[in-house]
Amino acid sequence: MTKKTILIADDEPEVRNVARRALEQAGYAVCEAADGDEAVFAAFKHKPDVVMLDLHMPRLDGLATMSEILEADPDAAVIVFSGDGDAGHADVALRRGACDYLAKPLDIKQLLTTVDMHSLLRS
């Protein structure tokens, strides 16, 4: 059985590292992006089962990145996350097509549960 692929897009290397380690230990293949432009390229190249996007990134923010990814693949499973504590950003992302929202700092158990749920829906 092929491993499910998860794309993690966040401009904070430590957030990517923590999430990557947890997801790889759970059996996922992981690709990373440090900004929105890299995330769009990685999504087109790797066709991940789940895309995890920080809402606040340089060059192309999470909402714009999500829009580009969903335009190319309307069924993409996009989970957005943010550390700003502003529920309004989460609401906007969910209305625009995100399938879920996680707050930073990421709770690893919640992260794995959320990714597991959405990756299964992509089977």
pLDDT tens digits for range 69-92: 999 999 899 999 988 766 677 889
Band of residue 31 on the pLDDT scale cut at 50, 70, 90: very high
CATH number of the domain bearing residue 67: 3.40.50.2300
Task: Give CA–CA dist 80/94, Å, rounded.
Answer: 8
> Could you tell me if residue 82 is inside a domain?
yes
Range of the domain at 17: 5-107
**In-domain check, residue 37:** yes
For 95-110, how does the pLDDT look when each residue is reduced to its tens digit (9 = 90+)?
999 999 999 899 999 9
Q: Which of the pair, 122 or 32, is modelled with greater confidence?
A: 32
Does residue 113 fall inside a structural domain? no
The answer to the question of residue 114 being in a domain is no
Indicate whether 121 belongs to any domain: no
Q: Number of structural domains, the chain?
A: 1
Residue 88 exposed, middle or buried by CB count within 10 Å (0-12, 13-18, 19+): exposed
Cα(85)–Cα(62) distance, rounded to whole angstroms?
Answer: 15
Average pLDDT in the chain: 92
Residue 51 included in any domain: yes
Q: What is the pTM for the complete model shown? A: 0.94
